[in-house]
Chains A and B, each alone.
Chain A
Amino acid sequence: MQAEQEADFTLDLRGESCPYPVIYTLEALQGMNKGELLQVITDCPGSFRNVPEEAIAHGYTLAQDPVKNGQEYLFYIYA
């Protein structure tokens, strides 16, 4: 992985099925201060699409492109 900004918080959601990854992600972002960076690790295939799309739809921005890591994805989202 390239040199990225160190995440302030990490949400490790490995094993959780939809819709919980997207619910948890949005909740975590809501509780953080603006500008802080959240790292999300998820392996629910449904969440590969709905987590980044809903983060954006809810007004957050992705810090970088999603990283595919084997059977899981890493997302970096600014609160």
Chain B
Amino acid sequence: MKTIIQPIFQRYWNPYVVLLIAGILSALYFGLTSTVWAVTGEFTRLGGDLLKLFGVDISGWQYYDMVHLQGSTWNRPDGWIVWGMFAGALIMVLLSNNFKIRRPQQKRRYVQGLVGGIIAGFGARLALGCNLAAFFTGVPQFSFHSWIFIVATGIGTYFGAKLTKTRWWKGRPTLTKGAAKPSTVKKRIIQPYIGSAIAIVYIGLMIYFFATDQQLLGFGALFGLAFGILIERGQICFTSAFRDLFLVGRSVMAKAIIVGMAISSIITVFIISVYDLTPITQIAALSTFVGGVLFGLGIVMASGCETGMMYRLMEGQVLFLPVFAGNIIGATFLAYAWDHLGVYNVLAKGGTKINLLDSIGPVGAIIATLAMLGILYALTIFQEKRYHRNLTMKRGVKTHAS
């Protein structure tokens, strides 16, 4: 028993394997439901639900018509993707006995998290998707807006990384002389039992959905759960994929995400051709670019994007409460600004929906996508190498001078 339990719950899974499975599952989810794995659209709807709860009349807001604000979050498949991801992550955290209330020592993090969360939420919805619908599941839909979004996010995270490096932003840790004692470990382990109980209740709920013919809710709950399990076990962090390349020359997450997207694209092109489905295409406009830059900056400021935030919150990282709140505030504010402050007219009106499948056909689309991903992969390796070359040079200068 122990030989099975150990690698599953005591160690994190290889991010390549995790993102490969996530890429396959998201293509499958599209094939089954004709919708994609996404979260921020639902965050916007949650904001709308809250506004309605406080008596605000949002019936005239265009953005809420566009994202189909209907029913409650419990009756929406996208809602169950979100709650399923929370549940899946929480179950995994508990089964691996890794839940702990983690409060940042640097109090400035809470402000950074809230502000970053708002900017990231606003930017994601401006671009019509976060790192999922405009990135990981957007590229495999051959929606050109995701290409713009990736470039823009890269630019945003670059500036975010610059900000992170400044002294007033990162703060100073307490470096003490000598050794210090670690925390005492509790002997009684109860977290796995709580995790198992939640898992049983959740499985019951999924059975209920399928038994009562609510297939879409069932698939949402099932795939949400799977995505939650995967991102927690793989510690999948889209924020770090870009940021850590600039900060410490770390490339593993970026490479794994690119590989996952390549697989997902190949499977999706087959699914679309065989089942004659319509790919999900979003407007490509100036709003995509501006939104992407804001999103990239915001996720680095907040230390996590809309997806990474979810499993970190379940691990007990208190910082991600203001980030979650910020994401919803930002997304809701964008929904308001869309027509009330003229955001649509200025940034999105001139845009068009461009899908590579329509413009250059399935063969062209998959070749172009794989070529683009190949270039991204090469750039990732280039940046990693550049970072380490500069590091060696700096070291050389230092040794020589001293």
Question: Which A positions have Cβ atoms within 8 angstroms of B?
Answer: 6-20, 22-24, 26, 28, 39, 41, 43-46, 48-50, 53-54, 57-59, 67-72, 74
Contact = CB atoms under 8 A, between A and B. Distances in A.
B175 to A, nearest CB: 5
B182 interface: yes
Contacts of A48: 12
Nearest to B176: A10
Interface of B: 10, 12, 97-100, 102-106, 109, 164-165, 170-171, 173-180, 182-183, 185-186, 235, 237, 240, 243-244, 247-250, 303-304, 312, 315, 317, 319-320, 388, 391, 395
Given A11-B173, A15-B103, 19 more contacts: A11-B174, A15-B102, A15-B105, A16-B105, A17-B317, A19-B243, A20-B173, A39-B179, A41-B182, A45-B315, A49-B12, A49-B235, A53-B250, A57-B249, A59-B395, A69-B182, A70-B97, A70-B183, A72-B100
A8 B248 contact: no
B178 A17 contact: no
A46 B235 contact: yes
Given A10-B180, A11-B173, A16 B104 contact: yes
A8 B175 CA distance: 10
**Overall SS of chain A's interface:** mixed
Given A46-B235, A72-B182, A23 B174 contact: no
B6 to A, nearest CB: 12
A12 B303 contact: no
Nearest to A59: B395
A15 B103 CA distance: 5
Sort A-B residue pairs by CB-CB distance and give the 4 closest, nearest first. Answer: A70-B185, A71-B100, A7-B179, A10-B180
Given A17-B319, A50-B244, A45 B178 contact: no
14 contacts: A11-B174, A16-B106, A17-B312, A20-B106, A20-B170, A20-B303, A26-B248, A28-B175, A54-B248, A58-B391, A59-B395, A69-B185, A71-B99, A72-B183
B325 to A, nearest CB: 16
A17 B304 contact: yes
Nearest to B320: A17
A14 to B, nearest CB: 7
A46 B237 contact: yes
Nearest to B186: A70
Contacts of A8: 177-178
Given A39-B180, A41-B182, A19 B164 contact: yes
A19 B97 contact: no
Nearest to A26: B248
- Taking each of B100, B173, B183, B243, which has the highest tally of chain A beta carbons within 10 Å of its own beta carbon? B173
B247 A18 contact: no
A9 B176 CA distance: 6
Contacts of A70: 97, 100, 183, 185-186
